């Protein structure tokens, strides 16, 4: 069975925990990351050796062939990102609620 190829959207506080967790899962890997902040993108990308880096989620979905996406962003962006993943037929893991309440 081929390894599942995923992307992490959001390189803030939780990203490092997410990346460590994905390293421990056999059969899946994070091959691309995305964050609007280029500095956070660089820090996480450099720390985990991820060279495919995007500052725009639409560009990520257009530029990669993904089996899943892990969304670890702030709550206001969850719904649009999950909907974007659905439009691209990419299963999404969303780390927090779709709304603050």
Tell me what pLDDT residue 85 has. Answer: 98
- Count of residues in the chain: 101
* Architecture of the 4-94 domain: 3-Layer(aba) Sandwich (3.40)
* Average model confidence (pLDDT) across the chain: 93
Q: In angstroms, rounded to a whole number, what is the distance separating the alpha carbons of residues 1 and 97?
A: 32
Query: pLDDT digits over 67-91, tens only?
Result: 999 999 988 899 999 999 999 999 9
Q: In angstroms, rounded to a whole number, what is the distance separating the alpha carbons of residues 41 and 63?
A: 17
Domain boundaries, the chain: 4-94
Burial of 72 (0-12, 13-18, 19+ CB in 10 A): buried
pLDDT band at 98; cut points 50, 70, 90 = low
pLDDT band at 13; cut points 50, 70, 90 = confident
Q: Which two tokens stand for residue 8?
A: 């992490």
Check: pTM over 0.85? Answer yes or no: yes
Tell me what pLDDT residue 78 has. Answer: 92
Q: What is the 3-state composition of the chain as percent helix, strand, coil, each rounded to the nearest 5?
A: 40, 25, 40
The total of other beta-carbon atoms located within 10 Å of residue 70's CB is 22
């Amino acid at each position: 069975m081929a390894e599942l190829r995923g992307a992490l959207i959001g390189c803030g506080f939780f990203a490092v925990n997410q990346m460590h967790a994905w390293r421990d899962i056999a059969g899946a890997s994070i091959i691309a990351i995305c964050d609007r902040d280029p500095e956070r993108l660089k820090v996480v990308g450099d720390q985990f050796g991820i060279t495919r880096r995007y500052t725009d989620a639409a560009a990520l979905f257009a530029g990669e062939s993904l089996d899943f996406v892990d969304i670890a962003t702030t709550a206001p962006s969850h719904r649009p990102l999950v909907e974007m993943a659905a439009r691209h037929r990419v299963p999404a893991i969303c780390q927090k609620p779709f709304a603050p309440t």
